[in-house]
A and B are shown apart, each in its own frame.
Chain A
Amino acid sequence: MPSWPVLISQAFNGLALGTLLALVSSGLTIILGTLGVLNFAHGALFAVGAYAAFVLLQYTSSFVLAIVVGCGFMLALGFLLERIIIRYFYDRPHEDQILVTYGVGIVLVECVRAAFGGNAQRVPVPSWGQGATQMGFLIYPTYRLQLIAIIAGLLLSLYLVLYRTSMGLVVRAGIENPGMVGILGINVRRAFLLVFAIGVVAVGLAGMLYAPVVAVTPDMGANFMAQSFVVIVLGGLGSFPGAVIGGLIAGEIISLTSAFNSSYSEVMLYALMAVLLIMRPQGLFGSEGRA
C-alpha cells in the first residue's frame, strides 16, 4: 500500500492529466458529434501544438505570447484542413473518413519528424511556473498546479461558448440533428468549418500547455489519442460534459493505479470502459441519438 502523500500526489497528477484529457477529448467529441467525423489526426494535432510552442518559444520569451500565436496557427491549420480535405468526406462512409484523417495524422507527424528529427525536444517551463509549491505536507511542481487551473479556465470558456452563445446553440443542435439545423435556415457546413477549427485549437492548445512537462516527440500524441477515444466512449459520444467528466475519471484512474502498479494503469482504464459499456452502452452523458 503506497503512503498517503504518494496517493495524494498521484491524485493531483490525475487531476492534471484528467483536465488535459478533458480538453483533448472535448475537441474530439464536438467534431465527432457535429460533423460525424471521428478525427484520427487528433493525436498528431496534439504533437503539432507542442512543436508550435517549441518553435515559438525560440522567438519570444513570453509563454503567453507563444500560446496566443500558436492558437492562431492551429486555427489556420484547422480551417485549411477542413476546407481542402475534411469537407469532401462528410457525405462519404465512416471508413473513408477514418482513413483520410488517419492519413492526415501520418503526414503531420512525418512533417514534424522531417523538420525537427525524432529526438525529444525540451520546452522550458514558463518563468512564472518555475519551482515547486508547498501545500501542507505535499510539495508539488508549480506549473502543474497552474496547468490544472489554466485548463479548467479553458474548459469553462468552452462551456460558455457552447451554452451561452448563438454559435454554441447551433453546435449543440447540430450534434443532435444537423439536418434539422439546415431546415431552420442555418448553413450547417459553415458551422462545421468553425467546429472543426475549434476542435483543432482545443487539442493544439492542450499540446502547447503540456509541452513543458513532457518530452516533445513527433509521436507524443498517439497515446493521448487512444486515451481520449476511451474518454469520449466513457462520457458519451458527442457530449461535452461527458468529455470533461470522462477525462477527469480517466486521469484519476490512470494516475491512482500507477501509485500501486504502473503497468496496470492502462489496463484499468480499458477495464472500466468495458464495464461501463456493458452497463450503459451510450456512455455517462450520451443519448441514443445519432448513429
Chain B
Amino acid sequence: MSLLEVDKINTLYGDSHVLFDLSIRVEQGEVVALLGRNGAGKTTTLRSIMGVLSPRSGHIRLDGKSIEGLPPSAIAGMGVQLVPEERAIFGGLTVEENLRIAALTAPNAWSYDRIYDVFPRLKERRKSAGRTLSGGEQQMLAIARALIRDARIILLDEPFEGLAPLIVRDLVEVSRNLAAEGRTMIVVEQNVAAALSFANRVYGLNNGHVVFEGTPADLNASADLMRDFLGVGM
C-alpha cells in the first residue's frame, strides 16, 4: 500500500475543469516531482491533496484511508503539509512566532534549535517580523514551518521560484538532505534540473492529465518528452 494515493480525481476551479481523472502515488520515503507547463494542474494537485480544494470525484488515500473532502486542518493533523507557492508567511508575526503557530497542533514538534540547525539564517532573524524577510528567508521559513510539524509528507510548490541562484543552491542542498533522511516529499518546480537533482520519480502533467511517469533518467533520455510536455529544450 502506498503512503499516498491520488486515485482518478477531478478537480474544478469554479467552472473550469483543471484535473481529469488524475492519479499519482507516493511511497514512503520517496521524493516525487510533478513537472509540466504553467496551467498543467501541478499546483491544483497539491491543493487537492491538502484539502484546500475538494475534488469533485475520485479518492485521495493516506495509509489507505480516504481523506478527500476533509478540511486542510484535519489533513495537516495527519501529517500532510503544503508549503505554498506564495509562501504565506505571516508578515506581522516574527520568525519564531511563525514557527510557534506551526508547531501548535503538532504532536511531535521539533525544537527551535533543530530547525535552526537546518536553517542557521532563521536563528539570526528569529525576532524579525515575517514581512521584513528576503524572498530566500521567507522560503526557508515556509519549509521550516512544515519541518517543525515533523510532517510525514511535505508538498513543496515552486520552492525555488524567483530566488537568487546561490539561495537556490542552498535550498536544493537542504532538500537533498531531507530526501536522504527519508522524508517523503512531492515537489512542483519549473526549475526542472533542480527538482530532478533530488527526485526519485517524476510525473509529467499536461492539461490536467498525467502524460508521463518514470525516473529522472527516463525523462532525461527522452528529449521529445521534455520539449513537448515540459517546454524544456535540452
Interface residues of A (CB under 8 A from B): 166, 169-170, 172-173, 175-177, 179-188, 287, 289
Residues in chain A near residue B71, CB distance under 8 A: 182, 187
In this complex, how many residues of chain B approach chain A with their Cβ under 8 Å: the count is 25
Check if B176 is an interface residue, CB within 8 A of chain A.
no
A169 touches B93 (CB 8 A): yes
Checking A172, A175, A176, A185 against B76 with a beta-carbon cut-off of 8 angstroms, the contacting residue is A185
Least CB distance from B49 to A in Å reads 11
Residues in chain B near residue A186, CB distance under 8 A: 73, 101, 104-105
Check if B50 is an interface residue, CB within 8 A of chain A.
yes
Least CB distance from B125 to A in Å reads 18
A180 touches B90 (CB 8 A): yes
A187 touches B104 (CB 8 A): no
Given A179-B52, A180-B88, A186-B105, is A173 in contact with B93 using a C-beta cutoff of 8 Å? yes
B90 touches A177 (CB 8 A): yes
Can you name 11 A-B pairs with beta carbons within 8 Å? Answer: A170-B101, A172-B92, A173-B93, A179-B88, A180-B84, A180-B90, A182-B73, A185-B76, A185-B104, A287-B91, A289-B91
Least CB distance from A291 to B in Å reads 15
Known: A169-B100, A180-B90. 6 other contacts (CB 8 A): A170-B104, A179-B72, A184-B102, A185-B105, A186-B105, A187-B71
B149 touches A184 (CB 8 A): yes
A176 touches B92 (CB 8 A): yes
Given A180-B84, A182-B73, A185-B73, is A166 in contact with B104 using a C-beta cutoff of 8 Å? yes
Residues in chain B near residue A172, CB distance under 8 A: 90, 92-93
Task: Select from chain B the residue with minimum beta-carbon distance to A187.
Answer: B73
B97 touches A169 (CB 8 A): yes
Q: State A170–B93 Cα separation when bound (angstroms).
A: 10
B76 touches A183 (CB 8 A): yes
Least CB distance from B2 to A in Å reads 23
Nearest 9 CB-CB pairings of A with B: A185-B76, A185-B105, A180-B88, A182-B72, A173-B90, A182-B73, A183-B72, A187-B73, A184-B102
Q: State A287–B131 Cα separation when bound (angstroms).
A: 11
Residues in chain A near residue B196, CB distance under 8 A: none
Residues in chain B near residue A287, CB distance under 8 A: 91-92, 131
Given A183-B50, A185-B73, is A176 in contact with B90 using a C-beta cutoff of 8 Å? yes
Q: State A156–B131 Cα separation when bound (angstroms).
A: 25
Q: State A173–B91 Cα separation when bound (angstroms).
A: 9
Residues in chain A near residue B81, CB distance under 8 A: 183
Least CB distance from B102 to A in Å reads 5
Residues in chain A near residue B104, CB distance under 8 A: 166, 169-170, 184-186
Q: State A287–B89 Cα separation when bound (angstroms).
A: 14
Least CB distance from B19 to A in Å reads 19
B52 touches A181 (CB 8 A): no
B105 touches A184 (CB 8 A): yes
Residues in chain A near residue B93, CB distance under 8 A: 169, 172-173, 176
Task: Select from chain B the residue with minimum beta-carbon distance to A289.
Answer: B91
A181 touches B101 (CB 8 A): yes
B92 touches A188 (CB 8 A): no
Q: State A186–B77 Cα separation when bound (angstroms).
A: 8
Q: State A219–B91 Cα separation when bound (angstroms).
A: 40
Task: Select from chain A the residue with minimum beta-carbon distance to B77.
Answer: A185
Residues in chain B near residue A185, CB distance under 8 A: 73, 76-77, 102, 104-106, 149
Least CB distance from A101 to B in Å reads 24
Residues in chain A near residue B76, CB distance under 8 A: 182-185
Q: State A172–B105 Cα separation when bound (angstroms).
A: 17
Residues in chain B near residue A176, CB distance under 8 A: 90-93
Residue from B100, B102, B131 whose CB has the most chain A CB atoms within 10 Å: B102
Least CB distance from A159 to B in Å reads 14
Checking B52, B92, B97, B145 against A184 with a beta-carbon cut-off of 8 angstroms, the contacting residue is B145
Task: Select from chain B the residue with minimum beta-carbon distance to A239.
Answer: B92
Least CB distance from B81 to A in Å reads 8
B73 touches A188 (CB 8 A): yes
Residues in chain A near residue B101, CB distance under 8 A: 166, 169-170, 173, 181, 184, 186
For chain B residues 25-40, which have a beta carbon within 8 Å of chain A?
none
Residues in chain B near residue A177, CB distance under 8 A: 88, 90
Q: State A186–B75 Cα separation when bound (angstroms).
A: 10
Least CB distance from A243 to B in Å reads 15
